[in-house]
Structure 1
Amino acid sequence: MARSPSPFSIPAYRYYWLARFSSTIALNGMVVVIGWQVYDVARRTMPPREAALQLGLIGLAQFLPLMLLTLVTGLAADRLDRRWIARATTALELLCAIALAVMTWRDTITLPALFAVAALLGVARAFAAPALQALSPNLVPPALLPAAIATSSVAWQVGGIAGPPLGGYLYAIDPPLAYTVAAALLGVAVLMLMLIGPVPRTEVDGSRNPWAQMLEGLSYLRRNRLVLGAISLDLFAVLLGGATAMLPIYARDILHVGSDGLGHLRAAPAVGAVIVAFWLSRYPLRSNVGFKLLVAVAIFGTGTIVFGLSQNTSMPMATALGALGLLGAADMVSVYVRQTLIQLYTPDAMRGRVGAVSSLFISGSNELGEAESGFLAAAVGPVVAVVAGGIGTIVVAILWAKLFPEILRARTFDPPRSFEDVPRA
């Protein structure tokens, strides 16, 4: 493969980037609409706190498949063709989007149907995430790996934050339209993945005990303090600071802005993150990247607290939007730094298994965070749940600076000369 000044000059990487971008927009748009429908359907027959509990349960339905399948999906990404894993799982997500569009159009959507589709999406994401994460470094020469990781992270993050407001706005225009557009985007993703030809990768010894190989990912993380610290930081910080899980409640019962307002609230983190994404593409971080990761997490917690208290200000909606914009900007910095460090400090033969554990932690900070936020909101109310979560996020950033000094010692994105040089316990 000829050396190129940009990963986008490589056709396979362009296909990969477009597939990841379009599928991330689609899936995150579906998640916000599913959350709205779960709460809306539940509120027809339940009081607010019981309906909030349903939001927690829907997050749990998406998280459990990932938790149960992590070891299997990681080994699959290291032993099987990563392209076909990504193709098959994206096709399953496409079928889920079509099913939701049809049920919404026919007005036959029910809580059991929403929970069933959420569980299927959880299975698909359990297999797709480690395969896609591990595929990216196989598409570019080593010299372009840092740039490929950065641009891939931007695709994931910008797609992840653009999808929810798009889903909210489309649902406000016409409920089935949100799922129809998601299905179209997933169709594009399947097509792009089919265009990626064979790629070189490190082979895993197929004669060894598969159970031992599954556990190697966990063992590697235990030894590699930098990667473990970066992954666990996201888990505990976002697990506590799950303000976005409360947006349907804030839109309907606290700020009283309805589904249109929900779209605005979901768009606010996207605005902050897109601004930062463009800034990072022009002025990439070059020094003290670990310290900046911790600061970004603390700012994320601060934005969460301000959002939680927004109803008590003179301009509640404006305050909420500003706080969410700050939250999204900080999250973009966190994802950019964390994913780059994880990929650079993990050998290719381990990327599927480490990626599966990383996906478990990311999902834990999202779906399980939604469950935690929903359960806490049902117990003490949504405002207290959001503010307490923001405070907890700041505490986690401070603790991780003490527990994982390797993060503070991560000065640049320069990859290790060998994987014996990575920080170990």
Structure 2
Amino acid sequence: MYENLIDTIERSTLSAFASLKDEGDVRAAITHWLYKQDMPFKFRNQELIDFWEESLNKFLHKNNTTLTQLKSNIRFPSHSNKFDFIDLFAGIGGFRLALQAQGGQCIFSSEWDNAAKKTYFQNYGKIPFGDINSFTGEGISEKELDHLIPNHQILAGGFPCQPFSNAGVSARSALGLAHGFECDTQGNLFHSIAKIAYVKQPDVVFMENVRNLISHDSGKTFEVIQNTMENLGDGVDNKHGYKFFYSVINSETVVPQRRVRCFMVCVRKDIWECRGDFIFPDFSGDPIPLREAIKETSPEEADSYTISDKLWQGHINRTQRNIARKTGFTAHVADLERPSNTIVARYGKDGKECLIPQNGKNPRKLTRNECRILFGYPQHFWYPEAKTPAYKQFGNSVVVPVVEKISQGIINYLE
């Protein structure tokens, strides 16, 4: 019924306010408003807010219910407001889950992939706003941005990694396209984070990207990111830069997946001057074997993920050719006593990153639920029924227990 409420308010809004019919974020704004009704974000129109209030009350009265009751079926709502955070490039909410576990309340989220937005809504009851450039792009003044984005203590975001990844760089170079900060679509989205941080001055900016970010363009890209954050407030009254800390972390000691990512924690300099350096938590320990992720999968479910003879033979042929010429990918069945290889967004195409061996038959891909386990999402987390979008969404995600452990370190540091 909660979704029916959103549908009802959206329909009546678009009927009453014709100017909003081409506005793509009405539904997102409604769900954000339903969480915190004093924050209308993009639509700072009192007439509209009054209309939403009236529509909400009519719906609740007609259905003899309350907003609290309607929200009670949301899988992972915010239960605490110990601190406020915003979730940029939100994907399916890995940062959100981790920061909520520390008592945080997500008051703004943004994500441009529609399938990921659906997963986000199914789990958190809130639809992310779309392209962050509509809040930070050219023509948006600092004063306007200050009204569009709510105040918050932590800004979290894994800004799009393709322009910085090894695969992304080689593909774009081969096509003669720009990459890194020269990419007009994804690469410059870090600057959206920097602009929001400059205007809103959160206590901490918490970012994630691929390991190759550090070495991209002989280290120049990473240097730009660090220098931008550290010099953000230079020479401007009441503005601070950020002390920059980073760590390259392998997830294999907290989930059965070898996923190495660069995490950045930027502490506002006036806070850093009082509290000193931020220390990343320790992720040492024994790797978790892949066997732990697949042990509850039934033979019947596993069978439906078995790859075809044609696909398996194609893997074998390409692997032999690539070994002979010492370049390109290889596809071998996984060692169940070690963590899986990194699961990427394209995993659904052929599964070459992690093929599960099976006695007497071709290997199989990971199930969607096994991917959930490899990324540390909770048991009742909703994900798409279709395999391809589920693989894509997990493959683009952070590993939740890694982010949760760092988040715990951030909150302990701030307290």
Bin of the TM-score, shorter chain as denominator length: under 0.3
- Structure scoring higher RCO (CA < 8 A, sep ≥ 6) equals 1
TM-score of the superposed pair, with normalisation by structure 2: 0.24
| Greater per-residue strand proportion | 2
| Greater per-residue helix proportion | 1
Q: Larger C-alpha radius of gyration, 1 or 2?
A: 2
TM-score of the superposed pair, with normalisation by structure 1: 0.23
